[in-house]
């Protein structure tokens, strides 16, 4: 074991301080003042640096630095089953073997860039942990063998490690319980870490325990502090009608909310009025959250910390306490509410002509669901409007016509409509998964989306020329040229995309590719490949436009109950209109945008993990069953299959393609057998058998139905038992 005084970081500092040329281990020991007993640990460290290509060792036992040491800093991130370093230079680096530091995902580290090997991604050697991001962890308690207390098997961003809970912190009844713990000593390769108990979340086999476990693993706050809750209760107790003197009374408008059946936080309500000459007037009312959440308050701090509400199947972690999110801010039917209302006057083709903003008092006429609206639209000449307010029932078909005009305008200017499915996860009363499917995509969804897109653009346009206020934009840069070249090479196999210019991407040309692909078996795969070619959208004070929406100026405004950037935009709009002086200064908007982007991605990762976990739970009792599906992605280690009847994806590993040796073609996204020429490519229909489910890894493995291995009964039982671990 390496002496604690002899660290890799200290050794590198000594080597860097030596004169150029060969050096001996004795010189290092003398220079550092290390005792001769450290010679063996020192030789081990030096030999590791030789193996990594940093040093060269002569026959006489001296060492020579191959090239000047190049250090860099960054943060460790999880990618698949491995950690990678996201450098401050914007590059991603793989972690080389022979690491001497037991670092965790999220750690800020100092690393050494290694000589790049042929056809390998640049690798680094971790030198020093500058800062641990994780101070609290979630995991399952296990019985301790031969030691006091119990072990906590922590799971952080897919990385598993052990911490010891001492007996005064861990009573025996904690075994098989999921707990939250605070790290007191971080684990190393030589010893486990130490932690103290914070809270017991529940039994490991209780499905409701999964959600707080995943939330805490992604550093998502579960509870609001007392100050934020007190402010929320005080705000909720304010009589809304007392604000009427300072507001425009718009309670006569036939505003309605349209949301999912299980929604409770209603940010937005809409109404449409036909105007003379074929013109339209769209009213978009958005909850005036900034009236209740003052900048710099405890509520604001809580919302800033969260950045966004996080939606899990059957549960939600709200950005604001429920007294606001489901109470006084929510635009519930037949309840007076404070709102910022956009009056959007449009021509007969959906072109925006004028925008007015009202500081208003409103009253939603009805709380509609997507399904109810769709039923009304589908049965406009029969009883589809039964039970609806007469004015609302007459408005919905007009809204469909108007929103189709908005959509056609967007598509004509080059907006991309990927229309990919979302997971529809249904649980029973005990939290067990009973179905994982694709959520239906209805015309009713499009009505709301088009109205919100128009409102978001209108507010961004009002703010964009105000240098004294600034704006927080939702930006989406054009795709990377190389990514588009790769995409073009693939779609050319299907006689698509010959007019694309990867160096000057045009959304209209890409939209045409999607339209043409819609009639092919590869439609879904082409949509997904193009989506993967896109850059991620983000928040920024610098307006570079939104490529995917083909919008020159776009921001988020319509969801302030659940998104912090929308709350920021509300404050900026009020300052622009002279209604307040309290808002983020223009110079501070860029770090605000970066923070909001990070919070959004953290929430997305947690939501994806919940979907993956629920998918595994749904499939874990179906090992050995046969399913139909299609190839959704191809890699050098196998291909992924998405099932036809369920929104479930799993891997067919090349290890289980036993009929041939398969070679991956990156250009065609295919695997081809070298002898029999059997080929697997995107969109191809396949029959598979469920082989294994790993709950802890959130992984599902399939095998081809005609290549099912013949395991022993003991192996079958092992696969099943591993699948049911939790």
Q: Where are the domains of the chain?
A: 1-69, 136-204, 226-473+546-608, 478-534, 620-723
Tell me what pLDDT residue 276 has. Answer: 94
Q: Kindly report whether the global pTM for this prediction surpasses the value 0.95.
A: no
- Asked if 682 and 634 count as a contact pair (C-beta separation under 8 A), the reply is yes
- Does an H or E element contain 352, and which? strand 352-363
Mean pLDDT taken over the chain:
89
* 147 pLDDT tier (thresholds 50, 70, 90): low
Residue 266 burial (CB < 10 Å; 0-12/13-18/19+)? buried
Question: pLDDT per residue over 604-659, tens digit each?
Answer: 999 999 999 999 999 999 999 999 999 999 999 999 999 999 999 999 999 999 99
CATH number belonging to domain 620-723:
2.40.50.140
- Who contacts 68 (Cβ-Cβ below 8 Å, separation ≥6)? none
- 122/699: higher pLDDT: 699
Same fold, 1-69 and 620-723: no
At residue 149, does pLDDT exceed 70? Answer: no
Q: What CATH class does 1-69 carry?
A: mainly alpha
Q: What is the CA radius of gyration of the chain?
A: 29
Three-class DSSP labels, 508-548: HHHHHHHHHHCCCCCHHHHHHHHHHHCCCCEEECCCCCECC
Tell me what pLDDT residue 81 has. Answer: 59
Q: What Cα–Cα distance (Å) separates residue 102 from each residue in 43, 44, 132, 599, 632?
A: 21, 18, 11, 26, 35
Q: What Cα–Cα distance (Å) separates residue 341 from each residue in 251, 253, 367, 394, 652?
A: 11, 11, 18, 22, 52
Tell me what pLDDT residue 333 has. Answer: 97
- 194/251: higher pLDDT: 251
Q: Residues of the chain with pLDDT > 90: what percent?
A: 55
Tell me what pLDDT residue 716 has. Answer: 52
φ/ψ of 404, rounded to 5, equals -65, -35
- Angle CA(156)–CA(162)–CA(164) in degrees, nearest 5? 125
Question: pLDDT per residue over 359-399, tens digit each?
Answer: 999 999 999 999 999 999 998 655 555 678 889 999 999 99
Residue with tokens 């609806």: 388
DSSP secondary structure letter of residue 494: T
Tell me what pLDDT residue 444 has. Answer: 96
Residue length, the chain? 726
CA dist 393 and 325 (Å) reads: 28
CATH number belonging to domain 136-204:
2.40.50.700
CA dist 594 and 472 (Å) reads: 10
């Amino acid at each position: 074991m390496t002496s604690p005084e002899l660290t890799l970081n200290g050794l590198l500092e000594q080597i860097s301080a030596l004169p150029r040329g060969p050096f001996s281990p004795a010189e290092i020991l003398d220079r550092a003042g290390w005792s001769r007993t450290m010679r063996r640990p020192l030789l081990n460290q030096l030999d590791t640096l030789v193996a990594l290509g940093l040093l060269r060792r002569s026959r006489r036992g001296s060492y020579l630095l191959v090239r000047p040491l190049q250090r860099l800093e960054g943060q460790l991130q999880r990618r698949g089953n491995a950690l990678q370093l996201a450098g401050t230079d914007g590059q991603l680096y793989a972690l080389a073997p022979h690491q001497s530091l037991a670092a965790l995902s999220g750690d800020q580290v100092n690393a050494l860039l290694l000589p790049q090997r042929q056809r390998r991604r640049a690798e680094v050697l971790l030198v020093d942990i500058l800062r641990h991001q994780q101070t609290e962890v979630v995991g399952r308690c296990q019985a301790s063998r031969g030691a006091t207390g119990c072990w906590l098997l922590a799971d952080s961003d897919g990385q598993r490690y052990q911490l010891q809970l001492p007996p005064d912190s861990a009573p025996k009844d904690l075994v098989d319980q999921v707990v939250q713990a605070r790290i007191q000593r971080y684990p190393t390769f030589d010893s486990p870490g130490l932690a103290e108990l914070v809270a017991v979340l529940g039994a490991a086999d209780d499905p409701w325990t999964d959600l707080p476990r995943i939330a805490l693993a992604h550093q998502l706050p579960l509870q609001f502090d007392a100050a934020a809750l007190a402010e929320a209760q005080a705000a909720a107790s304010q009589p809304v009608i007392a604000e009427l003197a300072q507001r425009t009374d718009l309670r006569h408008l036939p505003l309605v909310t349209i949301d999912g059946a299980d929604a409770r936080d209603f940010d937005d309500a809409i109404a449409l009025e036909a105007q003379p000459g074929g013109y339209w007037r769209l009213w978009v009312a958005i909850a005036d959250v900034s009236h209740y959440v003052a900048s710099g308050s405890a509520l604001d701090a809580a919302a800033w910390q969260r950045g966004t509400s996080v939606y899990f199947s059957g549960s939600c972690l709200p950005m604001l306490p429920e007294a606001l999110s489901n109470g006084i801010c929510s635009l519930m039917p037949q309840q007076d509410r404070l709102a910022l209302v956009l009056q959007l006057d449009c021509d007969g083709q959906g072109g925006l002509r004028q925008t007015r903003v009202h500081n208003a008092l409103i009253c939603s006429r009805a709380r509609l669901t997507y399904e109810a609206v769709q039923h009304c639209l589908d049965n406009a000449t029969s009883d589809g409007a039964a039970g609806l307010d007469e004015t609302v029932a007459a408005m919905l078909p007009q809204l469909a016509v108007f929103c189709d005009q908005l959509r056609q305008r967007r598509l004509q200017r080059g907006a991309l409509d990927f229309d990919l499915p979302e997971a529809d996860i249904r649980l029973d009363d005990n939290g067990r998964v009973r179905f994982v499917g694709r959520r239906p995509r209805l015309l009713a969804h499009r009505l709301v989306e088009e109205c919100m897109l128009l409102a978001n653009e209108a507010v961004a346009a009002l703010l964009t020329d105000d240098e004294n206020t600034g704006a927080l934009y939702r930006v989406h840069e054009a795709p990377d040229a190389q990514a588009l070249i790769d995409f073009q090479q693939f779609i050319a196999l299907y006689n698509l995309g010959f007019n694309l210019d990867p160096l000057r991407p045009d959304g209209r040309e890409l939209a045409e590719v999607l339209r043409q692909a819609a009639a092919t078996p590869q439609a879904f795969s082409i949509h997904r490949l193009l989506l993967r070619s896109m850059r991620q959208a983000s928040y920024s004070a610098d307006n570079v436009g939104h490529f995917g929406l083909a919008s020159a100026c776009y921001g988020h405004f319509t969801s302030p109950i659940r998104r912090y950037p929308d709350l920021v935009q509300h404050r900026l709009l009020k300052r622009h209109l002279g209604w307040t002086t309290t808002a983020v200064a223009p110079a501070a908007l860029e770090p605000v945008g970066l923070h909001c982007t990070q919070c959004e991605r953290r929430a997305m990762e947690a939501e994806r993990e919940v979907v993956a976990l629920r998918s595994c739970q749904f499939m874990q009792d179906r090992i050995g069953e046969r399913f139909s599906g299609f190839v959704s992605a191809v890699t050098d280690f196998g291909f992924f299959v998405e099932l036809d009847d369920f929104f479930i994806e799993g891997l067919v590993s090349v290890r289980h393609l036993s009929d041939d040796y398969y070679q991956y073609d990156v250009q065609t996204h295919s695997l081809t057998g070298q002898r029999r020429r059997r080929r697997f490519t995107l969109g191809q229909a396949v029959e598979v058998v469920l082989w294994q489910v790993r709950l802890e890894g959130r992984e599902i493995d399939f095998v081809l139905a005609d290549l099912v291995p013949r395991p022993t009964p003991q192996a079958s039982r092992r696969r099943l038992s591993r699948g049911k671990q939790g």
